[in-house]
Amino acid sequence: MRKLLVLIVILSLTSCEYFNVKKTSSEAILKEELETFNWKDVDEYPSFSVCDSSSSKADRTLCFQTTITQHITNYLQEERIVVTQDINDTLMLNFQVSNTGNLSLLEAKIDSLTYYEIPNIKKLLNQSLDVLPKIFPAIKRGQQVTTEFKLPIVMHVN
C-alpha cells in the first residue's frame, strides 16, 4: 500500500510537467508570420468594373493591364500630336495604385527622341490617367493594399 502511495505521489509530481503550457508572445507570433509572408504577391490584382467577369487571377490581371493600355492609347490618339520625325517607341510606365484606388504615374522611361518631339508627353500621360474609370485596389489577406506595377505602352506617331 505504501509503495502504491509513493508511486501515485511521484506520478502526480512529474505529471505536472506535461500540463505546462508554453506561452508565446504576440510579438513572436507576428515575427514568425512576417517572415513567412510573401510581400511580392497579392490575392487580387487591382481591377476595373469591366474586369469583374474574369474568373481567374491571371485573366483579371490581363484585363486590368489591357484596359489601362487601351485607355492611354485612345487618349493619345485623340490628341493632336505634331512631330518632325516618325516615332516608334515603347514607353515603360511605372504606376502605383493606392489602397483607396487612386492611380498615379511614378516614372516614365521615355526615349530622348520621343521626349524631344513631344515635350509634353508626361503631361499627356497624366491627363489620360485622370479620366480613367474607377479602380478597385488590390487585395491582400482581405485588406486593400497599395501596389506598384510596370506597363509598356507602344507609341507610333507618323
Tens of pLDDT, residue by residue, the chain (158 residues): 788 888 777 767 665 556 666 666 777 776 776 666 666 678 888 888 888 887 788 888 899 999 999 998 888 888 887 888 888 888 899 999 999 999 999 999 988 888 888 888 899 999 998 888 899 999 888 889 999 989 998 888 77
Residue 86 phi, psi (nearest 5): -65, 140
CB atoms within 10 A of CB 49: 11
Query: Tell me, what's the pLDDT at 68?
Result: 92
Cα–Cα distances in angstroms (integers) from residue 141 to residues 38, 135, 144, in the given order: 11, 19, 8
Q: Which amino acid is at 78?
A: E
Instruction: Give the separation between CA 51 and CA 67, rounded to whole angstroms.
Output: 9
Q: What is the pLDDT of residue 93?
A: 93
- Residue that is written with C-alpha cell 505546462 in the block: 20
- Specify the pLDDT at position 79: 83
What local confidence, expressed as pLDDT, does residue 117 receive? 85
Orientation of helix 57-78 relative to helix 121-130, angle to 10°: 120
3-state DSSP of the chain:
CHHHHHHHHHHHHHHHHHHCCCCCCHHHHHHHHHHHCCCCCCCECCECHHHCCCCCHHHHHHHHHHHHHHHHHHHHHHCCCCCCCCEEEEEEEEEEECCCCCEEEEEEECCHHHHHHCCCHHHHHHHHHHCCCCCECEEECCEEECEEEEEEEEEEEC
